[in-house]
Amino acid sequence: EAAIVEHFGSFDAFSAQLSTATKGVQGSGWGVLAWEPLSQRLIVEQVYDHHGNVGQGSTPILVFDAWEHAYYLQYKNVGPDYVDRLWNLVNWSDVTRRFDAPRAVGNPIILAP
């Protein structure tokens, strides 16, 4: 929680940014909360299309699936409602574990003496 406030200003600002990123995916992809190791901060990014196979350089912490197959049977073409409801499913203990792991590695460009 402290890191979200530090990096986004508030939980509401963070959740709005991740929701907007997820809802803005066109076609297939994900909205992602990730740890960016060079700047040592949390970021929100959109990841498109698994066929690109381009490395992101960040560690995913929380991922919202924006592919149509994730929501269409229940939400039809109203994907934003699906994204809004994803917040009720987040396992914050798992998110914390995923957040702590890459931070323990430290900054990859700073060599320890």
Could you tell me the domains of the chain?
Answer: 2-104 (3.55.40.20)
Q: How are beta strands 29-36 and 41-48 bridged, if at all? A: antiparallel
Q: Measured between alpha carbons, how far is 74 from 37 in angstroms, rounded to an integer?
A: 37
- To which residue do tokens 């998110």 refer? 95
First to last CA, the chain: 32
Q: What share of the chain in percent tops pLDDT 90?
A: 48
Classified as helix, coil or strand, 60 is strand
| pLDDT tens sequence across 39-86 | 899 999 998 876 555 557 889 999 998 877 766 667 667 677 888 989
Q: Measured between alpha carbons, how far is 90 from 63 in angstroms, rounded to an integer?
A: 10
